[in-house]
With several copies, the nearest count.
Chain A
Amino acid sequence: MPLPYTVRLAVQSLFKEPWVNLLSILTIGVGLFIISLAFLIVYNFDMATRKLPDKFSLNVYLDHNLSQERVRNIVGAFREKDAVYSVRHIPKQDALEELKNMLKDSPFVFEGLDDNPLPDSLEIKLKEKALGLETVRALANEALNIQGVNEVDYGEKFLSTIHNLKRGLHSFGAILIVILSAGIIFVCYSTVKILFYRKMDEIETYKLLGATKGFIRSPFLIEGFLIGATGGILSLLGVNAFYYLSVLKLSLSIPLFSSIIFPAQFFLWLPVIGMFLGISGAGVALGRMKY
């Protein structure tokens, strides 16, 4: 199989059929671009919730007037638990300061206050992997059984919302990626089919003149490869344009955008993915073609 000539045939054909090919390349480019955006959203959401342990804490309020000793024991008991990352003891004086700070717009609240009415408390941070709704709920119940613990407080609603959103986004992203990948393979598939049918006559002539299957097929595979790769490069350019426009420019007026993380190393795979999908489409189309 004289490869150079078949490559020439493939490249010539790309330029002789500009409309089918442009159509396919753009469709693939847009498809991969949307996949990338979906991935970007899911990825950023994941990254954002990965920082959650820093922000999330379980607040354990202790009984009034416990001994130093007892407090130290309770702190120790929590430190031993698997899910616990850190335990901070907040003496009631600090808690009062904090409350005063929070209500500093209305200092009059504390005007008549002589005594510190607040209890000691513990701020417990959890390890990342333990940050599921069930684990936290179980831990809270355990904590309540420890003697000297008066009350446990944690953002149950917040946690379950995040949890559900994450699940929803993950399935949404997965569905989108599967559908669009199938779509891209279909685009390559039907492009090759279109080109193939259009060249049916030419191919029949090649065959009658003694061309092998390889000679006939390789231009189509090369074309699928080129179309897919070009589409992939296009989507890479698109993603980068999107990044510079929205993340860098828009973040000036909308600070939210500045916290978007852009995993460039993943997106560099786009041309390879496009190429792979392109060859797959062509391969499937050729495989199902009788000639």
Chain B
Amino acid sequence: MIQFEDVTKDYDNQTALRNINFFIDKGEMVFFTGPSGSGKTTLLRLIYMAEKPDRGRISIAGWEADSVKESSIPFLRRHIGIVFQDFRLLTHRTIFDNVAIALRIRGMREREIKPKVYDALKTVYLRHKSDSYPLKLSGGEQQRVVIARAIVADPTVILADEPTGNLDPDTAYGIMKAFKTINAKGTTVVIATHNRELFRDTVRRVLHLDTGNLVSEDLG
């Protein structure tokens, strides 16, 4: 499903990832963890091809990073639901529209969009906020809208970057339960986080990053 072979990514004056190797199978639930600035977000950006690797091979569900055409990247991304660390909500659109945009981009008809959006909002306990605007929500509520947008289109892969940074333990637990349910249906789930509570009592793989290196892997 997701394969990294000797991947290195450099920014202007620093190496963000160095010789990374791993393989994530379809239906797995994987956590990436590591200190601030260790390269977790960069790794996820490589997966949804917002960045190109400087060296090495990346293969995502059959698409190769070094041969993929610019014009087919949108279609790759339609298989992926992303929880961005910096939210990326559209501030001038309602919560409903913010979630619906993921379906509209795919050309879905309005009639089918409505029930799906309300379902996703219910999963993150925000059904009652659907007519509100992002800047009128609390930090944790905004984060949950991002999660709803990531899951609404039933993607093949979910990439969640620090999805509970603004959530209290109880809410975080609810969100994790939802991810597990989705994972149980066959969706691959990849989560970058430093909240150890999230994976303390879960059957999963944890990969540890430190300043760009994959330092250890922990199964349990």
Contacts and interface: CB of A to CB of B under 8 A. Distances in A.
Nearest to B87: A205
Interface stretch (B3-11, B13-21, B100-108, B180-188): B100-108
B88 A210 contact: no
Q: For chain A, which range describes its interface: under 10, 10 to 19, 20 to 34, or 35 or more residues?
A: 10 to 19
B92 A206 contact: no
Given A16-B92, A205-B88, A205-B90, A210 B78 contact: yes
Contacts of B50: 208
B187 to A, nearest CB: 16
A210 B92 contact: no
B169 interface: no
A207 interface: yes
Interface in B51-96: 71, 74-78, 80, 82, 84, 88, 90, 92
A208 B84 contact: yes
Nearest to A213: B71
A135 B82 CA distance: 80
A207 B107 CA distance: 14
B88 A208 contact: yes
A98 interface: no
A207 B84 CA distance: 13
B84 A2 contact: no
A138 interface: no
A204 B101 CA distance: 13
Contact of B82 (A1, A201, A208, A215): A208
Interface string A267-283: 00000000000000000
Given A2-B107, A213-B71, A208 B101 contact: no
A215 B88 contact: no
A182 interface: no
B32 interface: no
Given A2-B104, A206-B101, A206-B105, A211 B92 contact: no
18 contacts: A1-B107, A2-B104, A201-B88, A202-B90, A208-B77, A208-B82, A208-B84, A208-B88, A209-B82, A209-B101, A209-B105, A210-B80, A211-B74, A211-B105, A212-B71, A212-B74, A213-B71, A215-B105
Interface of B: 48, 50, 71, 74-78, 80, 82, 84, 88, 90, 92, 101-102, 104-107, 149
Q: Top 5 closest A-B pairs, CB basis?
A: A210-B77, A210-B78, A211-B105, A205-B88, A2-B107
